[in-house]
Structure 1
């Protein structure tokens, strides 16, 4: 039957990271499903292709290597990430004389530095091998959404010379910031996080480990491979990323609050280099004689945005940047792809089983947006404290604990679509969310009075037994009751951690008030309010 008349099961507009992983997930869950991917670019794309989103964290990494079964590719063709690493190196060349945050060894659960060109070429080949119809050089021209639940959606696309029509029961927008469905349906939504980014790639490794000859500094880590980390060079109002790629290139990005570092100071390679010479001179030194190795340069103004709705009972959905985008700090992009794609697959499953969709789609949309709001709080108005060597380490520990203890547990334990279990934990999850909002406000207040001392020490996350165990615990397999217990433990751990942070900060700054955080802790168990339990940066 001609494609103009045959209705496919799913058409995905966009064959980048979000669209191709969704196609694979659908095919793996439903071997008979008919999936078409329409991709605007011609394939194969260049290695080190010019995209943000090269660093994955635990949810995204688990989605790629375990949920989708791509571990052989991730281990052989990508780089295992040596965690996040932070240096308070503003205006400094002596990288070994500033505070460093990071782990001295690999933790249990892997994450990856992803060369998007290599990965997306592989995903397209793998999707085709698994029966997905992948059409590149395809530009979508028109979308007509079905008015009736029995009718298919209609999509018109062209390949440069001819226009084609295709029909589908499900339509998924994965076309990135073009957001075709978002624009068509008026779903655009701004948020309160205004931030800009510039980034470029250099065709050679940046050997961070060689930035000091001090043997004590060099041997802090085993392996001595800081270059494999997502290295952050931080200062008030900005951070600079260094991300290695398997193709041999190194990605460099500057992400900044425009109130402190306007975009017009860094919106070309030459201006970005001038900016680095002032604010991160050690990196400038490393790049100055590599200017001829520049591969590309781009910038994004006000990159963060929301979306009024991403899942619909009318058999459409948005995934990846077609829906919403938070911030590259902590690399949540692939996490939200993993979560969104899992919800889309489950909605397709319910539709194939003949069940009504509207109520479930609304619930998934609410849960997805609650994850978005919780994560957005990590960034909104927080950039000024990024240069604070006293407060940012506490924030990083808190943010990881919240991430590994709540959202990552839900994903790793395959509970995203378990509405009964999540409903039974509503009070605990809402309490964690309130604690996080209050903690983020407290970090801002704390940084306003901080002494910002910057000693030459490494704050070794791997030396915190409870922290390393929290990471390892993601690999556990829990039944319903054990999962509920785990989530209640997470809520208690966050309260305990918040109590200690509050006690430490007010001990150093008696004038500092705890605000909403203190009020929440006053209603917490006595142990949490007293700050017993896990200790920030205390090993044992």
Structure 2
């Protein structure tokens, strides 16, 4: 019987990436991957973002391989249209960059990637058994014995750590559900259906020269393109060799059609005017679906030396291409576990489980009840700014600095976790409330035509991360981001000008954690403004006034209270009330 340090049950992308990382970190590790399939398949997980790109290049040493065998990705791109108007490609409102991203990412052909990584991993000493069907697990605290069958022969292997990387459908062994029960996440009512197509029309050839110039003649085709609608979004991802992946993710509380049926899936794609152009001459080569996407186990790691990777542990939502990102971070977390001595293991497990649970809770807020607003360019232009800039500023920066290797840093993240979660929930609830307001007033699509936003151009912060960025800068950047987001949400909701220095000066993390898109929050803000203006008047005029402000004053050049004051004071208040915001982040936005 052969003995291993780790055995991975399941040989998909999570097992292949994480095992490679651990083996490169410690070449002495003995690792076995057991995979029941003999050939690889097309699977989701084709689109990567910043953390995954770093992981592939820096940690897995796959830079040259990725560039030679997969497509470089041109960021994420979002299109909006208005069904009440005649469809014209060039008139769709769009959010997307006009430069290639600084941090490289890729569109992965999962069929070839998984097959190639099997070979590359075997070359560095990882043992992989294909066509291996696991028939029995003998679970013990110090050593697990795995029985599997291959080519009609029975084999046994022992391991200290057993890694469940079987993916979403891993119901064969009840022991896993006993030590870490799995349940559907009912807070997220999303389902999905997807498939691969050949002979898809080239999006770069659909529009005129002016439309192509908007993106600096970079390739929209190489982007992960999102076609946004009320209650759903459609992904279009090129994966090479004339194959393009199409998928629909939808909130089944809003979209009542049964898109789990392949014919209805195809009909839905054809009902979207942009997708109809793309697939008018295409042939579909496969179909997959899931009636409920979100679920979670209770524990990422268990004291009996068992851990659950990626979709074996949980899944939230594919909207921001998080799959390989999560795998990358979990590789670092698993490294802490396997390097922990027996004395410290229980504490390490507790820490890792707390962190993974916190991270999923934060990620969930990005999607919960958000699908109603996906039809609105106006709303999503604000949401995508906050979501992606905070991702780059916090997650990409922390991963770039390899902070996940520091268990003490992870503990500090846990300590700050509830504050982070509260702030994130406040901002995300603001997006939900704005979606409801726009929908109720039937104005959610008023900017869905002829708008183009460059807010996906995050080159300034990415350059800073590469050169000279630190935690203090990251905190200031995040506060500036929150200030802009709150003011823009208020501005759309109330149609008043909130782009004022005096307003943003009041917005600290404590106040933003309690942000609500309603009059109650504005009243709190007004109270802070009253104190600020009173202090300024006392300092300038040595005069103590009982300043009063009303919500309607946000629409005025000078608040009503000061109409009867001296001209000198009115001029002073005018300057104070209308000073523009010197927000460095806002000033960094690219201008068309």
Aligned counterpart for 1:23 among listed residues 4, 16, 19: 19
- Secondary structure of 1:379 counterpart: coil
Q: Is the 8 A contact 1:101 1:461 kept in 2?
A: yes
Equivalent positions of 1:465-476 (< 5 A) are 467-476=458-467
User: Is it true that 1:374 corresponds to 2:349 in the alignment?
Assistant: no
Q: Per-residue CA shift, 1:333-390, capped at 9, x if unaligned?
A: 1111111111111211224xx6521101110111111111111111111111100111
Aligned counterpart for 2:105 among listed residues 81, 101, 111: 111
| Equivalence for 1:392 | 380
Which sits farther off after the overlay, 80-89 or 417-426? Answer: 417-426
User: Is it true that 1:61 corresponds to 2:61 in the alignment?
Assistant: no
- Secondary structure of 1:392 counterpart: helix
User: Is it true that 1:202 corresponds to 2:197 in the alignment?
Assistant: yes
Aligned counterpart for 2:262 among listed residues 269, 277, 284: 269
Q: Is the 8 A contact 2:262 2:287 kept in 1?
A: yes
* Inter-partner Cα distance in structure 1 for 2:125 and 2:496: 62
| Equivalence for 1:500 | 487
* Inter-partner Cα distance in structure 1 for 2:402 and 2:161: 24
Q: Per-residue CA shift, 1:11-57, capped at 9, x if unaligned?
A: 011111100111111111111111000011104x2xxx331111011
Cα distance change, pair 516–75 in 1 and its aligned pair in 2 (3 A): farther
Q: Is the 8 A contact 1:187 1:307 kept in 2?
A: yes
User: Is it true that 1:513 corresponds to 2:518 in the alignment?
Assistant: yes
Q: Per-residue CA shift, 1:441-499, capped at 9, x if unaligned?
A: 10111122222212302101256xxx422233443576xxx3x3244224423432333
Which sits farther off after the overlay, 197-206 or 156-165? Answer: 156-165
Aligned counterpart for 2:427 among listed residues 435, 439, 444: 439
- Scaled by the length of structure 1, the TM-score of the pair is 0.88
Q: Which runs of 5+ in 1 are unaligned?
A: none
> How many pairs were matched up?
512
* Inter-partner Cα distance in structure 2 for 1:316 and 1:518: 52
Q: CA deviation at 1:257?
A: 0.7
Q: Is the 8 A contact 1:502 1:518 kept in 2?
A: no
* Inter-partner Cα distance in structure 2 for 1:166 and 1:105: 51
Equivalent positions of 1:470-489 (< 5 A) are 470-476=461-467, 482=470, 484-489=471-476
| Equivalence for 1:158 | 149
Q: Per-residue CA shift, 1:144-191, capped at 9, x if unaligned?
A: 2213xxx31111212252332211011001110123564343420322
Cα distance change, pair 134–425 in 1 and its aligned pair in 2 (3 A): closer
Q: Is the 8 A contact 1:11 1:172 kept in 2?
A: yes
Q: Is the 8 A contact 2:145 2:157 kept in 1?
A: yes
- Secondary structure of 1:461 counterpart: coil
* Inter-partner Cα distance in structure 2 for 1:329 and 1:29: 31
Q: Is the 8 A contact 1:12 1:173 kept in 2?
A: yes
Please identify runs of 4+ aligned residues in structure 1 that moved more than 4 A.
422-430, 509-512, 514-524
Q: Is the 8 A contact 2:235 2:246 kept in 1?
A: yes
| Equivalence for 2:505 | none
Which sits farther off after the overlay, 85-94 or 510-519? Answer: 510-519
User: Is it true that 1:315 corresponds to 2:305 in the alignment?
Assistant: yes
* Inter-partner Cα distance in structure 2 for 1:68 and 1:60: 10
Q: Is the 8 A contact 1:115 1:247 kept in 2?
A: no
| Equivalence for 2:352 | 364
User: Is it true that 1:126 corresponds to 2:116 in the alignment?
Assistant: no
Q: Is the 8 A contact 2:296 2:314 kept in 1?
A: yes
| Equivalence for 1:171 | 162
Q: Is the 8 A contact 2:81 2:449 kept in 1?
A: no
Which sits farther off after the overlay, 109-118 or 425-434? Answer: 425-434
- Secondary structure of 2:45 counterpart: coil
Cα distance change, pair 502–518 in 1 and its aligned pair in 2 (3 A): farther
Cα distance change, pair 242–390 in 1 and its aligned pair in 2 (3 A): same
Cα distance change, pair 490–153 in 1 and its aligned pair in 2 (3 A): farther
Q: Is the 8 A contact 2:385 2:456 kept in 1?
A: no
- Secondary structure of 1:154 counterpart: strand
- Secondary structure of 2:425 counterpart: helix
- Scaled by the length of structure 2, the TM-score of the pair is 0.81
| Equivalence for 2:586 | 535
Q: Which has the larger radius of gyration?
A: 2
| Equivalence for 2:337 | 347
| Equivalence for 1:294 | 284
User: Is it true that 1:419 corresponds to 2:397 in the alignment?
Assistant: no
Q: CA deviation at 1:227?
A: 0.6
Q: Is the 8 A contact 1:237 1:260 kept in 2?
A: yes
* Inter-partner Cα distance in structure 2 for 1:134 and 1:518: 63
* Inter-partner Cα distance in structure 1 for 2:184 and 2:463: 36
- Cα RMSD of the aligned pairs, angstroms, is 2.8
Q: Per-residue CA shift, 1:394-425, capped at 9, x if unaligned?
A: 11111002211222222221111423345556
* Inter-partner Cα distance in structure 1 for 2:454 and 2:63: 28
Q: CA deviation at 1:141?
A: 1.9
Which sits farther off after the overlay, 430-439 or 370-379? Answer: 430-439
| Equivalence for 1:406 | 394
* Inter-partner Cα distance in structure 1 for 2:104 and 2:374: 25
Equivalent positions of 1:456-471 (< 5 A) are 456-461=450-455, 467-471=458-462
Cα distance change, pair 244–112 in 1 and its aligned pair in 2 (3 A): same
Aligned counterpart for 1:33 among listed residues 8, 29, 32: 29
Q: Is the 8 A contact 2:295 2:315 kept in 1?
A: yes
* Inter-partner Cα distance in structure 2 for 1:422 and 1:521: 38
* Inter-partner Cα distance in structure 2 for 1:251 and 1:522: 52
| Equivalence for 2:318 | 328
* Inter-partner Cα distance in structure 2 for 1:334 and 1:391: 27
